[in-house]
Structure 1
Amino acid sequence: MNTSELNSFIVILIYGSLVLLSLLKLANPLKVNRKANFWFGIFLFLWSTFWMDEVLLLVTGSTVEFHSLLVVRFVQFLTPIVFYFSVLFYTNPSFVFKGTDLKFLLLPVAFLLCLLCAELGYSNPFEYLSVILILVQALFYTGLSYIIIRRHQKKIQQFSSNTEGINLNWLEYIIVVLFIVNIIYVIYNLFYDPTSLNFFINAVFLLVIYWVAYYSLKQKEIYPLEEKQRRELISIDEETEKEEVKKKLISDEELIKIKAQLESIMATRRPYLDSELNLIKLAEMLSVSTHYMSYVINTGFGKNFFQYVNGYRVEYAKTLLKNTESKFSILGIAYESGFNSKTSFNTTFKKMTGQTPSEFKNEVQVYKS
């Protein structure tokens, strides 16, 4: 099989994989992240159309100018914004479109006008302008999506003690990889023969698509299914970024009282050993609202929920690591301490102590010997 035939095979795999994954996301058999998966499914389908020219060539045996169709070009232009909507709903499932969101139509309308003008015979200036709009829209919404995901990763630390399954790292990595690949492709198009790069680009895209398939299908529900709890947590997220959070939600006396109760529960009942512990569960133990609990942890301890709970987990892990007679492995200690994976254990432990669990354990053994 020569390079051309191998590239054709990869193109078929890319198109088929994207269409299949799109249908799976739209059907959403697990019924999780419904709005986000709907928009992500649409994004995947739109993404698949970029290989339609090559697929039709392989099927019909003749060149088909699929991308030259005005409707197709316009629909493909919407790909970055549809991806942005999926990110928006992953990070805030309670988001509702408002009248002010009509601003999202500005670039698509401008692009459509450019296409219509080009069709009427004013090809050169409007073709150039349409290319500029494609680049602007792609960069803008890709960058905005990346910023939203980064904010989300900070926000979830306000209510979750284990963020590994809900931090949307896979989306962040996809954005970075696609951005780098597209830069390489543009540079190569400017200075070299673009056809010689097709095999490499398509191979990378195929790997990215399989990466997307794996992580998007295993993505669990990010926020609680119960609407009231979901809205409470999202509102706490938003408040932590505003100046108003500095205002007192409760008196100093009440703050000291709840802080003492919290410390007592953490010491006696050790809820941090529950790997699924979240702000809602902890607030229920003290019979206070999630807003009050968040305020007490943020103001009383100067930490977010993630830092507060994992501080206890790390200290508990230290006692297990210091016990040279313990039969627990590093992974066993991670689970015993409330972490849900060795990766999150290593990362959090090193961030809080400056050492990995293995390094800490070895140091203790050397000291004792």
Structure 2
Amino acid sequence: MNTSELNSFIAILIYGSLVLLSLLTLANPLKVNKKANFWFGLFLFLWSTFWLDEILFLVTDSPIEFHSLLPVRFIQYLTPIFFYFSVLFFTNPSFTFKIADTKYFLLPTVFLITLWCIALGYEKPFEYLSIILILIQALFYTGLSYITIRKHQKKIQQFSSNTEGINLNWLEYIILVLLIVNIIYVIYNLLYDPKSLNFFINTVFLVVIYFVAYYSLKQKEIYPLEEQQRNELISIDADSDTEEVKRKLISDEELVKIKTQLENTMELHKPYLDSELNLIKLADMISVSTHQLSYVINTGFEKNFFQYVNEFRVEYAKVLLKQNDSKLSILGIAYESGFNSKTSFNTTFKKVTGLTPSEFKK
């Protein structure tokens, strides 16, 4: 099998995998992150159309410039926006579109006008403009999606003690890889023959797509399904900002009282050993609202919820690691201490103590 045949085979795998994955995502068999998966499924379907030229050529044995059709080019132009919408709903399932959000369609409108000018015969200046708009759109929404995910990773530390399954790291990695590949592709298009890069690009995309399939289908529900609890946690995210934390939610006397109550609960009942502990559960234990508890932890201890709980877990793990007669492995100690994976245990332990659990044990 020569390089051309192998590239065609990879193109078939890419197109088939993306269409199948888009259908699975839209069907959403696990019924999680419903709005996010709807937009992510549409994004995957639009992404698959970029390989239709190659698929149609293989089927008809004659070149069909499907990608160059103006309506198709406009629909494909929406791909980065649909990806960004999926990120929006992953990070905030209560997000609703408002009139102000029509700004997201400003660039597509300009692009549509550009395509119309090309259709009227003004190809030269507007063809270059369309390429620039495609690059701007991709970079803008890729960057915006990346920033949104980074903010999300900070937000979830306000209410979750284990963020590994809900931090959307996989989307962050996809963004970085796609950004690098697209920059290489655009530069190659401008300076060299893009066909010589097809095999490399397709191979990278195939790997990325299987990575997407693995992580998107196993993505857990990020926020509670119950609407009131979900909205409560999302509103607490906003309260974590510096200015909001400074604003007094309760009196100093009440803060000291809840702080003492919280410390006693952590020492006596050890709720941190529950790997699924979150702000709602802990607030119920000490009979305060999630807003009050978040305020007490942020202001009274100058930590977020994630840091506060995991420091207790690390201290408990240190006791277990010091026991020379213990038959528990490092992974066993991680689970006993309330961590849900060895990776999160190692990362958190080193951040708190400066040593890995193995180094500490020695």
Q: How does 1:212-227 map to 2 (within 5 A)?
A: 212-227=212-227
2:272 aligned with 1:272, yes or no? yes
Q: Is the 8 A contact 2:36 2:88 kept in 1?
A: yes
Of stretches 121-130 and 38-47 in structure 1, the one that deviates more from structure 2 is 121-130
Of stretches 232-241 and 276-285 in structure 1, the one that deviates more from structure 2 is 232-241
Q: Distance in 1 between matches of 2:245 and 2:268?
A: 30
Q: Distance in 1 between matches of 2:190 and 2:15?
A: 26
Question: How many angstroms does 1:298 deviate by?
Answer: 0.5
User: Residue 309 of structure 2 corresponds to which residue in structure 1?
Assistant: 309
Paired residue type of 2:215: Y
User: Residue 340 of structure 1 corresponds to which residue in structure 2?
Assistant: 340
Question: How many angstroms does 1:67 deviate by?
Answer: 1.1
Question: Aligned with 2:224: secondary structure?
Answer: coil
Q: How does 1:1-369 map to 2 (within 5 A)?
A: 1-241=1-241, 243-362=243-362
Q: Distance in 1 between matches of 2:71 and 2:121?
A: 17
Q: Distance in 1 between matches of 2:242 and 2:325?
A: 49
Q: Distance in 2 between matches of 1:317 and 1:311?
A: 10
Q: Is the 8 A contact 2:245 2:298 kept in 1?
A: no
Q: Distance in 2 between matches of 1:252 and 1:267?
A: 23
Q: Distance in 2 between matches of 1:288 and 1:115?
A: 58
Paired residue type of 2:74: F
Q: Distance in 1 between matches of 2:264 and 2:153?
A: 29
Give percent identity, aligned residues only.
80
Question: Aligned with 1:30: secondary structure?
Answer: coil
Paired residue type of 1:287: S
Question: Aligned with 2:303: secondary structure?
Answer: coil
Q: Is the 8 A contact 2:245 2:299 kept in 1?
A: no
Question: How many angstroms does 1:313 deviate by?
Answer: 0.1
Q: Distance in 2 between matches of 1:194 and 1:228?
A: 52
1:150-198 alpha-carbon deviations (Å, 9 max, x no partner): 0000000000000000000000000001111112222333333322211
Gaps of 5+ in 2: none
Question: Aligned with 1:288: secondary structure?
Answer: coil
Of stretches 80-89 and 178-187 in structure 1, the one that deviates more from structure 2 is 178-187
Q: Distance in 2 between matches of 1:245 and 1:347?
A: 27
Q: Distance in 2 between matches of 1:287 and 1:67?
A: 60
Q: Distance in 1 between matches of 2:117 and 2:314?
A: 63
Question: Aligned with 2:220: secondary structure?
Answer: coil
Q: Distance in 1 between matches of 2:28 and 2:348?
A: 33
1:77-110 alpha-carbon deviations (Å, 9 max, x no partner): 0000000000000000000000111111111111
Q: Distance in 1 between matches of 2:166 and 2:215?
A: 11
Of stretches 238-247 and 149-158 in structure 1, the one that deviates more from structure 2 is 238-247
After TM superposition, the runs of 4+ consecutive aligned structure 1 residues lying more than 6 A away are none
Q: Distance in 1 between matches of 2:28 and 2:306?
A: 30
Q: Distance in 1 between matches of 2:345 and 2:150?
A: 21
Of stretches 206-215 and 119-128 in structure 1, the one that deviates more from structure 2 is 119-128
Question: How many angstroms does 1:242 deviate by?
Answer: 5.4
User: Residue 366 of structure 1 corresponds to which residue in structure 2?
Assistant: none
| TM-score, with structure 2 as normaliser | 0.99
Q: Is the 8 A contact 2:107 2:137 kept in 1?
A: yes
| TM-score, with structure 1 as normaliser | 0.97
Question: How many angstroms does 1:294 deviate by?
Answer: 0.1
RMSD, aligned CA = 0.8
Q: Distance in 1 between matches of 2:74 and 2:115?
A: 8
| Paired positions, count | 362
